[in-house]
Each structure stands twice: as structure tokens, then as C-alpha cells.
Structure 1
Amino acid sequence: MQRHLALLATVTLLAAAGFWGLQQIPAPAHGKARQTAGAIPKNDPAHSNPAPLSPLPVTETLDNTSLAGTTVPADLVMDGDGQLIVNSGTRAILEYFLSLSGELPDEQIRQLIRQWAEDNAGPRAASDLLALLDRYNAYRQRFASGDYAASSEADITDKLRQRQQLREGIFGADATALFADENRYDQFSLQRREILASDMSETEKKQAMQTLYASLPEQLAVQYRQQHALRHLQQTEQAIKETGGSSADRFAYHQQTFGDEAALRLQSLAQQRQQWQQRYQDYAAQRDRILAAGLPSKDKQHQLQQLRATLFEETEQRRVAALDRLEEPTRE
């Protein structure tokens, strides 16, 4: 887990492994396909079928996005015929590229996935991966509805069951392998909940929790600690500030808890938020002068539109207009 707290940010803050949606952080190295025993190497002349070259290599394209300096987080695994074998790493690969949603057109993201897979695993595995992508996008769309997220501790078990049914309905036999890590984490969450809700003494609960944590694979243990820290990040940062901590102290906490790259992203996000707040405050001062001027309402609106167009990008203008509507009652 080296990155993708990201799309905290972006990744955000990572799409989503674990019940509460923390995304995995990519591991180092642009993944090369791995074949199972008995598989025929990609460079075997009898199985060579190179894909047409793209006008722009995948790495060069990624270097012009928010994923610059990162790497594809897993390898593709194939059988001896070059057919894709689905596992949890396959999902990590899809999430990695899909984190560019909103930054690149969907079709360009699809072409990046195809090109990367063909370069690293050949056309058959690439075709399999694109077919899986279509199903995965359907799953993400269904899951984004919010119908499968637990709204309270009481309905966690029922929601997990519904999520499992959704996955099996869309992915069939691939569901177990595709969501293996998340299923293990969900099971851990249920066991943890059962311990905390039991009538054991506090000492017994503490011992049971220690045993449960010790049973977690290291990767999931790190994921849980990061998710817990992420859910309480705002309170922790506020506590650091109230005790006299500086921005350097906050960065040191991020670095220790989430790793170097995630700490840098959190720092960048904080700077972006500060810059945005300053830009909006500067705009608001000019806006208020326009509104206070003795101009007809139509002229005021025209000047406000011009001011927004001058100071903000098109997508930002919609956000500014929405903030203005929220502030209207306080200005009246």
C-alpha cells in the first residue's frame, strides 16, 4: 500500500477497497504480465501478435496526468494460452486507470488500459481485461447509488450480503477472486463488530481484539490502520493545531501514518484548498461591491458573470455560482 490515498483527493481521497472505500496505493514498477506454470512466454514467435503502436506511449500519457510519477500497482496474470486470470490485482489495475475519470475522457482511459495490457500481456489478455472493465463499470455505477453502503452499525451484515449478491450477479465465478482482499477485510469488520457488541469484559474484549488483529495479513492490517486514521483525520489535524503544532507537524503525522507520497498529496490538497479559499474571498469582495452598486438587477448579473468568467475556469464558475446561492440569505 504505497499510494492512492490519492484520490483522497482525487483518489480522492482512492474508488475504494475496504468497506469504507480507502483505495490501495500503487506499488512500484509498471506491471509486467506474469504467467502461470506452463505458460508460453509472450515473445514466443508462435504466439507473437504485437498490437499497433499508439501515437503516445502509456507512460508518457500518464506523465501528463495526476498519476505522473506513479506506477501500475499490479501484474496481469495469464494462463498458458494468454487468457487473463482474474485476481484482486486485476481490480487494482482497473482502479488505477479509472482514477483518471473526470481528468481524461472515458474512451481515452479505455484505450490506455487496452494499450498497457497489450504491451504487457498481449491482445487476448487485453481483450479479456476490457470485457472485465465493462462489467466493472456497471458494478461501480450500481454501487455508487449508495444502496449498498451501511448507514448504521445495525445493517452492516445485511449490506455486506447485498454487496456479495451484486458482485456474484455481475462477475459470476470471478467475484471471489476479484474482491478477495475486500472480502477478507469485510469479514474482519464483522468479527470486530461482534467482539465489541458482545457481553465480554473489557479485558476479554481487548484480548479478543488483539487476537483478531494478529490474524490479519500485514497488508490488511496496514489498510485498517490507515482507514481508521483517515476517518479521524480532521479531528487529528485540529488537535495538532490546537496544541500549537505547525504545518510541518501535520505533514510529519501524514508521513508517518500514510507514507511519503500520500503525505505529499495531502499537503498539496491543503495548499489547493487554501488557494481556492483565497481566490473565492477575493472574488467575493468584488462581487459585494457590484451588488452594492446602484445598478439595475440585469446589469449586476451581467457584471457578475463577467467577473466569474475572468477569475475562474468554466467548471469553477458553476461551483462559485452555487456558493453564491448558499450565501444569499446571509447577505440579505
Structure 2
Amino acid sequence: MAGNRDGWWLAAVISPLVLLGGWMLWPDSPEPAPSWASSDDSGRPTQTIASQWQEPDTNLASPQGTGVADSQPSADDAEAPDAEISLDRLQHALANIGIDENGDLVLDEIALASLRQAFRGLENAGPETLNELKLYVEAGLAGETGSQAARILGDYINYRKALAAAEADWGKLDDLGPRQKLERAIDLRRQHMDPLAASQLFAGEDAHQRYLIAMEEVRADPDLTGEQRQQALTRLREDLHSGALLVDGKGTDAVEKLRSERQKWESMGLSDETQDYLKQQTLGLVAARDLAGTDTQDWQNRYDQFSQQRNTILNAGLTEDEKARQVESLMATYFTEEEVEAASNWLPEYLKTELSD
């Protein structure tokens, strides 16, 4: 039931129209393929919801008083406001979501595409029906896996409904551009979903959104010369490719400095693996600042001190493994437990391993 994961990735990541209603930005030339959007399936989970699903022994399949059906509704029924919800359709939509070795859902682009497919059949579901569907999902998957799946499903549907209502209001604001809409959508998402879970689901799509928006801004800037515009566009493509746009770097220069720091790490003779780890650590800390709602100036002061001591460790005459161990320990000195956890978990494991130049 795993399906074609690459096709799901493209549908999930490069479809801005699905995210924010009617506004859509596309570059004139094909987008660069980010290194973290690898077509290699080796790091992805082998277990899915489909492989662990056990048909619940419930009466939810009865349409009497539940609004839930156990078979695919007809086209006419699907268009009706009170259309019955097909349990088969829901189960099929969620089937490809991965499950890791700990029984946790893998919240990646596959999961996002799956939730979108589920929402298409559930957007008219009322609170009672949605609660029954969540119980059905929870009963079909054992333990915490079922609880996670039910919670994520409910949170995502509530977010999408809130987004639709918000977009109606945003359309009345003439001065609200694509960047502001994206920021508002992210804020709204975190009101209805766990912020860390939302980051894992949407990080890749948000990166593409930031790339497309920034590219249009560069092209429309009348103060740039042709050469300056080309340099800015090249830099944006590099930032997308490297993963720098996976996080919101507004208010910090940490992401901006990554390019020069990477050159410094290379001159030290650090391996590509260690350099990738350091880059992921930096991006994770920026993501944690955003997810935890940390005061920007306070975080920047702590990060500057952390960065200085990290450089001291990296320049010391230690083995590479010992440098990595000390740098990892250093995080706990300058960042809260919540920030360290978010920095470690803001992306699925397979993206962490693929995030390299």
C-alpha cells in the first residue's frame, strides 16, 4: 500500500494553490530540486497505517444517525451537504502514512498528502461525525499509534476549516500579500495543531512557498540592477537547495551565516557528515526558536554565545566524534529543554539524513 512516494511528494510540496486558496506563484523556469527532496526511499519507513490496520469491531459503519457509511457514496451523494462519509475512503486516504519503529506516525509530505485526501471527503463533516471518525481510526490502530492518527486527523481538519473561513476575510484586505498570507496560515495552523507536528508536516511546502514568494519579490524590485537580480535569484536557489528555507529565519542572522560557516567547517577538514550535522543543528535551533515562541533578541544572544563556543570546540585538537559529542552537549547549556527537543525533532528522520549539499 506504500504507493508511488515520489509522486505524492510532488503533489504535497509544490502545490501552493492547495495551501492558501486562490493565490499562486510559479517561477518562469523549473524549480531546483532540493537535496532534501531525495527520490531515494531507503530512509523511509516500511510500516504504514495500511500494514497495521485492523478492522474495528464497531457499529460506526451504520449510517443511522451517524452520517458515516461503510461504502463509497455515489457522486450525487458526495456533493450533498449532508453526504455520508465513507469509511473505506477514509481508510484508503490514510493508508500510506508511515509508522516508525517506535509506533509513532511519520509526519512527512506523504502524511500531508494523505490528510489532504482525507479532508476532501470530510470537509462537510460536523463535530459529532468527526468525533466518531476519530474513534474509528483510533480503534483500527493499536495503542498510541491510533491515538496519534485520530488526533492528527481531527486537528488537520479543524485547521483546514478555520483556514477556509480566514481566507474569506483575507480576501477583503487589499494590502495583504502572499508573504503575509503564508505567515497568517502558519500562525493559524499552530492554533489548531501541535506546532512541532505542523512543522514536520509542512516544512517542505513552506520552504517552497518562501522560495516562490521571495523570487517574485526579487523580480519585482525596481532598485536592483540586472546583475544584482540574477545574484539574488541564484542565492535563493542555493538556499532552497541547501534547506535554509525550511525554517523562518526572520529576526536572526544564523541562517544567513550558514554559507560562510560551511566554508569554514570545510577548511577545518571536517567530514561532510559532520558538516551536515552542524547545519541541521543550526536550522533546528532556528526552527525551535520559532516553534517555542522564544523572544528573538534573547534567543539571538544565547545563539551567539553558543556559536562562539561551538567554534572553539571545532577548532580544538579533538577527534571528530568528540567534537560532535561536545557540541551536542553544549546545546543544553544555552537552550531550554523545549528548544533542544524541538531542534532535534522538527523534521522527520529521513529528511534529516538527506539534508545535505
Global fold match (TM > 0.5) = no
Q: Where on the TM-score scale, by shorter chain, does this alignment land: which range?
A: 0.3 to 0.5
TM-score, normalisation: structure 1 = 0.41
Q: Which structure has the greater CA radius of gyration?
A: 1
Higher normalized contact order (CA 8 Å, seq sep 6+, divided by chain length): 2
Taking structure 2 as the reference length, the TM-score comes to 0.38
